[in-house]
Every structure is written in structure tokens, then in C-alpha cells.
Structure 1
Amino acid sequence: MVESYGEHGYDVKPGAWKLPAVVTPDVIAEAGEHLAWTEGVLLADAATEAMRSWLLALGNASASSRTLTPDDVEMKVGVMLTLMDDYPAGVFTKATLKRAARRFRFFPGFEELAPFLDDEARDLRVKRDRLLAITKAQPTAPKAAPKEEAIAPATDEQKAAVREMLAKAGVPLADPAPVVTGSAAAGEVKRVPGSDRDREEPTDTREAVRRVMAETQNRRRIPNPWQRAASSNASTEGNANG
């Protein structure tokens, strides 16, 4: 069952009301069920016995029940019933009884009780009108999830700019990797053009890794920040001692 749609629900809440952002056929169908219940049961004329039981329970829940005799309560309830023949059944429920018991410390007279009953009846009519608006609304399709933008591959110019930046920072660059072809699986070798020297590149990956490590073993390595700091301090101390 649909109890509420948050701030867009049909229940009476503070603030301006509007239709739900998304009205699906299921929402419309369930709102129709609640509309039928509200109009056929809650807004139907209240039975006299139901109103009498509600008033007696309110009298017993109030502090004045200690001072009023049962005959006094019955007489007071009888008089009030003659003035309450135009209220709907939904006004006299367990939930409304709790709200009334919290509001009235002593058993109220009709002048005090009438504004409370009027507010409860008004809320029922507002709920009916909201349910009716939902049942008459046009179904709306849910919003589609936004598509993720594909990341374009780096261009040759962008790759060249990165290489230039790394070269200026002193980061050693490896030679371009060979293009693997279908003959690599047969253990053939491929000559790699475009580097400082053409060389035969073994297609076996492990052998290629070992050879690259051997060739780059004696290349200058960029020291870590703490190593730079230690070298700078040692140089300063040497100059001071000199």
C-alpha cells in the first residue's frame, strides 16, 4: 500500500503540495485504491455509536474523569452527540483519539472540541483531493540514467608532450616497444625501427624484460627526495668545514 510519497505524498504535511515527480501506472492504481477507501469509509457519515464510544474514551483519558461521575459523562456525551451529526467516520479513529488526548487535559466541551474535529475532517478532504489528482495524472516515464562519456585515446601530440616533460625531468625513457605480430607465437624475431639503433627484439617476453633491465642498469637514477636532502646537507657541512 502507498503510505506516502515524501514531500509529494497525499498525506497532509506542511508546505505546498504537488504531484509526485514520477507517476507510474502502479502509483495511479494504488492511489485509486486509497481514494475508494477514503471516500467510501473515512468520509462516510460517522455512526452514532462510534462517536459515543470515542467521546467516552476521551473522557476517561482526561484528568476530569476523576471529578465527573459516570452519569455526568453520559449526559455530557449525549448533548455533544446532537451537535456532531455532520462529521465523517474518519474523524473518530484510534489515531485521532490519541491526538485529542494529547491536546485536551480536561474533558472538553463542544466549543473546544469542534475546532479539533473540523481540522481532522479538513485533512481527510484534502487527502481525497490529492488522491483524485494522482488518479487523473498522465503517467510519466522515469528519467533515463545519464550516459557516461567515453574517454578518447591520447593523440600523438599528447604522447609527445608527455615524453618531452619526462625528458626535462630527467626520467629515463625506454625504447618503443615492438609491435607483436602473428609470427611472434612461432618464436621469430622482429627488428625494431625508429630508435637510436636497430636491433633484433626477441619475442619472448621474459627474455625481453631481462635484457631491458641489463641495458638500463647503469643509467642515471633520479634520487628520492630524502636522498636529495641528505646529499644537500652533506654538501653544506663539507663547505662549512672547508
Structure 2
Amino acid sequence: MGRHMRNLFVAGCVLLWLLPLYLLVVNSLTPADEYTGSVDWTPQGFAFFDNLESAWVDAGIGDSFGSSMLYAVVCGAVAVLVAAMAAFAVIVLPIPRPALWFWVIFSGTLFPLQIFLAPLFGMYADANLYDSRLGLMLVYAAWAVPFAFFLIRNQMTTMPPELTEAAMIDGASMRRIFWRIHVPLMRSGLGAAFIFQFTAVWNDLLFGITLSRSPEIQPVMATLNSLNQAYSSAGPPVVLAGALVVSLPTLLVFLVFRGLFLRGITASAR
């Protein structure tokens, strides 16, 4: 009886998750000039590519899509590399008070992002970093480090210290130990951390609308947010078609690397 109830509960949760996705797909197919303003539960035509063209070209989602891909890939990779080095320093190197350094770095995940917006905006305006790709890449990379550090550090604690001791006896430097021993053994954890940070940067809206305004600089979520206001005459199907395409990269990254992601999460949770 308990097993059946659990299965029914899981099935209900799946249906609740799939229902908005179904409505998103169905209403993105409706021709924009035929949209009545009410939710369509069945397809009323097939104008998805016309709606997508309006969102991609006229609203500038295509430019911001490329910008977000740059931010997510580069900043995610940089954040994972910095986090791995920080975790190596805290776990392996003989630094004083490693627990203190852990909390200093991890505290970046504990504060709400809103408290950083006002000082960041002022600093960026003074340093001419406002509305620039470099400015957004700096904040995204810094923002992604603490959680990546947490995941990688947890996996690194499971590695036997005898590996480092044996390498040091053989005369290996700390740089060589990091790149030749720890990085290869932490591939799954590094991959899981990158997927998390890729998704976080891709889905960011707050920094995008605060620190940029140009369509070619703004991340795709900021452009999608302004699409409904700037092109309200185009109709909701155009916005929904854009939202559907914008959601695909994170889904594809997870599906392609799901094995690596699951191994990394398992290793970090030990």
C-alpha cells in the first residue's frame, strides 16, 4: 500500500511539472495574430518558426543567446578552475586555519544577491565596466566560485592523503600533484560543478538587468524579460517560442552529461 501511494505521489509531481511545459509548447505553436488571449489546451496551428523568428531577430534574442553562451561556458569553467585550486589549498596545502578559509569562501553562497547590487553598480560605473561583457564575466565568475568550491572540496576530502604523501616522496611539486593527480581523479566532481555553474549563469536575470542594458551585451534571460514589454504587440506566442528555445541549452547539457553529473554529485555527497 505504501509503495503504491509513493508511486502515485511521484506520478502526480511529474504531471504537475509537465503541465506548464505542455502549455508552453502548445501556445508557442499558435499564430501570433490568431491568439485570443486565453490559454490554448490544444494546438491551434503551427507557427512556431514564425514566432521564433520574431523573437530571435526582431527582439534580439539571437545576439543575447550568443552572449549568454559565452558567459556560461567561460565563467563556469573559470569558476570551477579557481574553486578547484582553492579546495586544493584548503585540503592539501599546509595553510593555517583551513576551516576559517573554508567559511570565508563558502560564505559567498549565504548572502542574498540583492545586497551586492548597489555597490556593484556604483563600482562598475566608476570603473567603466557597466554594460560590458568583461564586467558581466567578472561578476559571474566570482559569483559561481563559492558553490563550486563547496562541491569540489567535499569530493577532495574523500581522497586518501597517502596519494599526496607518496607523490611528495617521489619529488613531485604541489603544482604537479594538483594537475597530474587531483584533477584527473576529480573529473566527475569538476564536471558536476561546471554543470551547476553553467545553469546558474545561463538562468541569471538579476545581474543581467542591473549591470547591462545593450541587447548585444545583456544575457538572454534579461532580453527575454524585456521581450514581453518591448514587443507586446507581437503577442504571447512569440514570447513563449523564445522561452522554449532559451530553455534548451541547460536541458541538453544535463542530458548529455547526466552520467558525469550523477557521479560527481555522489562523490561530493560522501
Choose 1 or 2 for highest CA Rg: 1
* TM-score, normalising length: structure 1: 0.26
* Bigger RCO of structures 1 and 2 (CA < 8 A, at least 6 apart): 2
More helix by share: 2
